[in-house]
Amino acid sequence: MSRLMSEEGIRIDGRRWNELRPVRIEVGVLKNADGSSYIEFGKNKIVVAVYGPKEVHPKHMALPDKSILRCRYHMLPFSVEERKNPAPSRREIEISKITREALEPALILEDYPRTVIDVFIEVLQSDGGSRCAGITAASVALADAGINMRDLVAACAAGKVGGRIVLDINDEEDKMGEADMPVAYLPNLKQVSLLQLDGKLTADEYRECLNLAINGCMKVYNMQREALMKKYFSTKDEEGGSVED
């Protein structure tokens, strides 16, 4: 067996094949933003802010029938082993694009014509799977901003490591493993809004990997809901209490 997977099927960080890394999601962490969130996904630490819907500048970019969504995925220079140049890399530009395309189907942009919604994803510390954690946190921040949504977007990767299909690839498994497949899923609409793959899989492994990633997305979805409910249900209870007084 390889170094990444023990004979008993235990992974390099002690997880089993179908286990997620520890996840923590917080809602409303930045006061200036219309919506915000913070996520820890394994060693990933990511903060997301949503501004909007707001007026579009320059004005000619505005759409008459719906809002436009802009996403920026950005890594801080100290978020990785070797200092990253703060200018947007080609990788970050691609991830910004696929993040926007993963979130867009969940948003009812038609409700906000002639406006823009900005999503800023800042990776403070990166582990494997930061694009998925970023999408997960961005979806929570969009809900926190009160944007009309059809569904949340939950994201999680699966892949092939040491010959086995496993859930939620970490940094080491991403670099040394055979395949990495990030997936974003709309749990209620049962639709896949992000699918990428790096690495070789047979047709059967591909289907197995996709299903496992979607299982992971469902787990992430429950954590997103809990985080949102923690903020909004507690606020509601307090308000309810004060009205009775």
Partner 1 sequence: MSVKKTTTIVEQLRRAQMNELLALNKRLDGRGLKDHRELRIDVGLIKKANGSALVSLGNTQVIAGIKVEVDEPFPDMPDKGLFICNAEVLPLASPYAEPGPPDEDAIELARVVDRGIRESEMISLDKLALISGKKVYAVFADVSVLNADGNLFDATSYAVVAALLTARVPKYEVQDDRLVKSEETIPLPINTVPVSVTMAKIGNSIIVDPTAEEEACMEARITIATDEQGRVCAIQKGGSGTFSVEELSEIATLAVSIGNNVRERIKNAVAPASTNNDNDNDNDNDINK
Phi and psi angles of residue 169, each rounded to the nearest 5 degrees, phi first: -70, 130
Which of 18-26, 39-47, 94-102, 218-226 is the region at the interface with partner 1 (rule: CB under 8 A)?
94-102
- Decide: 152 and 187 in contact? Cβ < 8 Å: yes
Nearest to 141 by CA among 216, 38, 24: 38
Closest CA to 156 of 106, 226, 221: 221
Please select the residue that binds partner 1; options are 39, 147, 156, 194, rule is CB under 8 A: 194
| The binder of partner 1 chosen from 97, 188, 226, 234 (CB under 8 A) | 97
Positions in 14-43 near partner 1 (CB under 8 A): none
**The one among 199, 208, 215, 225 contacting partner 1 by CB under 8 A:** 199
Torsion of CA 203, 210, 13, 173, to 10 degrees: 50
Chain positions 109 to 168 lying near partner 1, rule: CB under 8 A, are 118
For 31, how many CA atoms within 13 A lie in the half-sphere containing its CB? 0
**Minimum distance of partner 1 from residue 29's CB (angstroms):** 22
Whether 42 contacts 192, CB under 8 Å: no
Of 21-29, 33-41, 42-50, 193-201: span binding partner 1 (CB under 8 A):
193-201
- For partner 1, which stretch binds (CB under 8 A), given 10-18, 30-38, 61-69, 218-226? 61-69
C-alpha–C-alpha distance, residues 165 and 154, integer Å: 20
- With binding defined as CB under 8 A, does residue 80 bind partner 1? no
* Interface positions with partner 1 (CB under 8 A): 61, 63, 68-72, 90-91, 93-94, 96-98, 100-101, 104-105, 118, 181, 186, 189-203, 206-207, 210-211, 214
